[in-house]
Structure 1
């Protein structure tokens, strides 16, 4: 406790204008946000604080992240607790004669870096509690697989965090303890690596995992012991772990600064998992992001890679994803899609100019079934109230039908920042389909999404349907369902996912409902 107190007293505070553009870009800031930070930093503190509070979504999360990491203070010239104490008791503070640093400067480690310190912006004590409930209404599933519920209670203070949970009929715990350079995590909730695939609980997931949230993804029992190395103002972590649900053999892990890269490896069965989430913002060359997660195994490897690029002026956009899914990897985010009977490898690329003119390419291999396609789209009418888009798409299928067909679609679409309104109809030779999506950001950190697809006739090729996913900003999948409706509402304290789908001539529709609640109390 005394060590934590001393670290807090010596925490180094910075003004906003003392954070360089290089540091902001390294933290994932897009160029426009870094420029806005530097501009507002030149203004009075009240203006900077007003600007910070006005941000929403990812911009708000990035600014808050740097605010905490850099120990930003708008009034750092105010005397600290130590200075106030020494001013009252000038002769009461003893110093070591062998100290080689001044009293007002923070202590250094052996490499001249400041020690690990707790976030002085965190409350002294935070309690949190909540619950989750999900129902998968499928006729042929046993009752124990249809419904899952949990309740939890936890707390965090001075960098330590713990949680007690009841998942269905099982009780579990989770703890994340740090002591100077060492970290120890144990139980069914916390781990130093950000992987979603690693040792995940197949019956539960967290939609409330975001920056600063005490609820990372639920996992099966594991233990991690690691050492945090501070080098050149960046924190690296490496250590040992054991998670029987991932591998029966113990292994090693590593985490890079900002958790941009991390991985685990078990030598006994040569099984590993890699996670990547990085951003590059080269000057005048736009913003580029990569997200990836994979599990490498002798039996079967699974995972995904997602790339996103956009120009500096946000005129040109590129999205590309490749993933391999299989029965070895499943979850409950979209239950009708993510429990495949056989492995599937899919690749998708979309390029566009201002989201108006562009092209798409898709290729999928699923057993002996091969599907591919390409499309182009362009505007017929453009206005500030929305655009009319025409799309031409080729569908090819071999293995089952040896079928080729053309889809012609017309859409109304309106986009502004993260808000999207899109609805349209595509006509094919053997039928057609209605497609629609609605995304509405509400305030800060709140998002409401509604999407659906309705297929008519008997198309012999599957539809390209944009899926919500747990790890990437974007994902696409193939579906042969006649009807899919999805509703999602996510905020910092509540999450609701509703999914309904049905097949043609099938009396067994699938209804999936997941509700999660998180309440935090600061003391």
Structure 2
């Protein structure tokens, strides 16, 4: 029980206010000294105001009165007034498709050309799509609300991922809806932890499979009891990580997916940790292909479709300094290289770069083991800017192998142009690393023995043109792949 003595009128309230004010002052001072973070603003004692502050107070008071008057005035609705349409009420149309051509003396002429076109209508939560895929006419329908996410047909799926249930003959990089096999998907409570069931003959067999999609589709897992196939999908793009208060953010990226059983699977995962202020980064990539299923191109830049387990890791500072290693393992053989490159000095036009590599190869057949090893030196000229970057250089290996490489890339507002070329001597004993595109925009590092590789890609928001050309050693055959995609929304 609290008693008050000799305190007239409302002075009890003043005493309580005074005690509360004193405690709050001490807490704020303590937090400011320890954490530099005040809990709540303290009202300072009244001080004489300057003329400018008085004018500001008068201006704010006048605006407040006008606002209050407008609130009190009755709203008059005329016969011609109308409510503007919601964006969800508007009908949205889109058209798209792709034309694909693969030319090689090893390819069937009938299967070398592939064409697909589609038209889509979206209204509120409903989407309907019709398409021609080769000589087939297909349809798809999707319905989404706060409780269910339903997809039927050959385009819509509630499980994220580029490769999940994908049609191996087609791909799409301009939209989120991939050409897929005939499938059915049903997920509950989309946007939250969303359980679901699905059916896709190639993955589930004759019985349905089960899925769980995490909020914002950052993770997704599936399991099919009949085929025992599993899948894992992850998508964390440049997620900020703060280890200490007030320190610079570290950005974390992890994306990719894997599909298959414990013994027979394929997939690709890419991860990167970067510190934007210091330009320091650590990056890694691992993938296992399935006869070219992961590639955007029909040309794998390899003599055969090896399904090796490939791993690549790099650490660097900025665009000119990097240490990296690559390892490729398959049945009976293993191939790897280690590399370090260092910018000598940076100028307005880029930097001359020295690169050292060593290559090694092991193979075993009929109980016999074969090993080979060599080193290499390369001089490159590199430039990396906001809208343009290039690279040109030549590598000479100690065993007599020779390679020449060059690249030129342009970037603009909503568009990107990429070109690269690699030439190898036909007598080279070791394969050279090249870049291939996988999924939406993931770059694969692979080893190739092709004598010549040319790559061209032009991309905007509504069109993409992709061309690759390569030639085998000793002129045993050339390959040309072209893919043109378009997608307009109106």
Superposition TM-score tier, normalisation by shorter sequence:
0.7 to 0.9
In 2, Cα distance between equivalents of 1:412 and 1:262: 43
Which of 240, 248, 265 is the equivalent residue of 1:281? 240
In 2, Cα distance between equivalents of 1:449 and 1:122: 37
What runs of 5+ residues in structure 2 fail to find an aligned partner?
A: 1-70, 78-84, 243-247, 365-369
Contact 1:462/1:480, CA 8 A, preserved across alignment: yes
Q: What residue number does 1:136 align with?
A: 102
Taking a change above 3 Å as real, the CA distance of residues 418 and 258 of structure 1, as seen in their structure-2 partners, is farther
Query: What are the equivalent positions in structure 2 for 1:239-318 lying under 5 Å apart?
Result: 239-248=196-205, 249-279=207-237, 280-283=239-242, 284-318=248-282
Scaled by the length of structure 1, what TM-score is found? 0.72
In 2, Cα distance between equivalents of 1:242 and 1:470: 22
In 2, Cα distance between equivalents of 1:360 and 1:135: 35
Scaled by the length of structure 2, what TM-score is found? 0.76
In 2, Cα distance between equivalents of 1:250 and 1:123: 34
Query: What are the equivalent positions in structure 2 for 1:110-129 lying under 5 Å apart?
Result: 124-129=90-95
Contact 2:232/2:259, CA 8 A, preserved across alignment: yes
1:418 shift after superposition: 6.5
Deviations 1:190-240 (A, max 9, x none): 11122122111111100213xxxxx521111100112115xxxx6332211
Contact 1:286/1:310, CA 8 A, preserved across alignment: yes
Q: Does residue 479 of structure 1 match 2:448? A: yes
1:168 shift after superposition: 0.7
**Greater Rg, structure 1 or structure 2?**
2
SS in 2 for 1:468: strand
What runs of 5+ residues in structure 1 fail to find an aligned partner?
A: 1-82, 90-118, 210-214
Contact 1:333/1:470, CA 8 A, preserved across alignment: no
Contact 2:203/2:227, CA 8 A, preserved across alignment: no
Contact 1:292/1:303, CA 8 A, preserved across alignment: yes
Q: What residue number does 2:11 align with?
A: none
Q: What residue number does 1:162 align with?
A: 128
Deviations 1:355-394 (A, max 9, x none): 2222111111122121112111111221132111100000
1:328 shift after superposition: 8.3
In 2, Cα distance between equivalents of 1:224 and 1:473: 26
Deviations 1:444-486 (A, max 9, x none): 2x11111121112422111111222214543211111111101
Taking a change above 3 Å as real, the CA distance of residues 332 and 352 of structure 1, as seen in their structure-2 partners, is closer
Contact 1:414/1:421, CA 8 A, preserved across alignment: yes
1:172 shift after superposition: 0.7
Query: What are the equivalent positions in structure 2 for 1:113-512 lying under 5 Å apart?
Result: 124-209=90-175, 215-228=176-189, 235-248=192-205, 249-279=207-237, 280-283=239-242, 284-327=248-291, 329-337=293-301, 341-399=305-363, 402-417=371-386, 419-428=388-397, 429-444=399-414, 446-471=415-440, 473-512=442-481
- State the Cα RMSD in Å: 2.4
In 2, Cα distance between equivalents of 1:349 and 1:491: 30
1:316 shift after superposition: 0.5
Contact 1:334/1:499, CA 8 A, preserved across alignment: no
Deviations 1:54-107 (A, max 9, x none): xxxxxxxxxxxxxxxxxxxxxxxxxxxxx9xx9457xxxxxxxxxxxxxxxxxx
In 2, Cα distance between equivalents of 1:179 and 1:352: 45
1:299 shift after superposition: 4.6
